[in-house]
Structure 1
Amino acid sequence: MPKTLILIFHPDFTHSRANRALADAASQLANTEIFDVQSAYPDNRIDVDAEVQRLLGADRIVFQFPIQWYAAPPILQAWQNAVLTRMYYLNYESEGRLLEGKPLQVAVTAGNTPSAYTARGTNLLPLREILTPLRVTAHRCGLLWTEPFIVYEAMKAPDATLRQAGQAYAQWLSHESTQLLQYATI
């Protein structure tokens, strides 16, 4: 079974209900490593050597985070700037090239409703389009992009709904194909 690396980019994962529910469900899966990037690097001083080794040891990479103001939390951008710049611009042959062909999956929690992410909604664009910068990053790095897993109304969801979302997430993660996955929403 391939090794899955879930990198959690959450500004306050300890107090998160939705992202915690997803991570708790994912932690039950075999050969899955979950790493809370923000708590490991609260000062944004990322241990690039450790992160490169973590990525190279994975068969599949998952970025998990809450969407905030149409973007991932700042720690994800800091992580990309440090880790991917080194792997793909400074050490491509010895690091970046070794990551190519691996799937990059994204799991996102959003506070608003699915209808808010439409042309007539509050947010104008579908969440899938808001995630385009990550899709472009995957393309640039030679990673296989899969459709994102999205949990809407995450802040308001009752615990039972979040547990269901976690179960759906674990099922989504269990899909071993590197082809495009179905668009998963909760």
Structure 2
Amino acid sequence: MKVKLLSALLASSILLVGCGSDNDDVTEPPVVVPPPADDAIDIDEASAIVMKLASFDAATGALTFSLQDADEKSISKATDYDIYYFGYPDPSSPSTNAKAWKRWHVTQSYKCDSSADEECVGVLTETAIKGQYTFEATDLDLDSQAAAGALALYKVAIQIHGALASNEIELIEAEE
């Protein structure tokens, strides 16, 4: 008996909820979604720069990263940089050189200083999303600086400069 009573109550509540007004004269105004606020600031106004690497292609040196200030606002119009690529031998392979207590490495650097009259090495481009950047390392060739097949580990260090600040530089290993 209780099951029949419960079924009847559920059926009647579904019918009541399902009934609506047939008055089609009322129209709802369209919902206007405002565009997202542009919280990007110019790099020369940033008192702190935080760089987050999104991708690093060891073979080509291609980088994708984002820049933000201490308040997590996107930083746009970055042009000045120091970018260093490093190539290391396989860390698990022993050295045949008895004096090799330090691991050898090869490097190649890319720099741009817009205040100097020198041409920039490499291409830094801000994407359509403010604060997102790509970097193309033109003519990157770490392998030519070492014996054939000697390099097994690749790292990059990126420093972006503004008028008031630069990001902390750190060595970042390429993902395999």
Using the size of structure 2 for normalisation, the TM-score is 0.24
Higher strand share: 2
Using the size of structure 1 for normalisation, the TM-score is 0.23
Higher Cα radius of gyration:
2
Higher helix share: 1
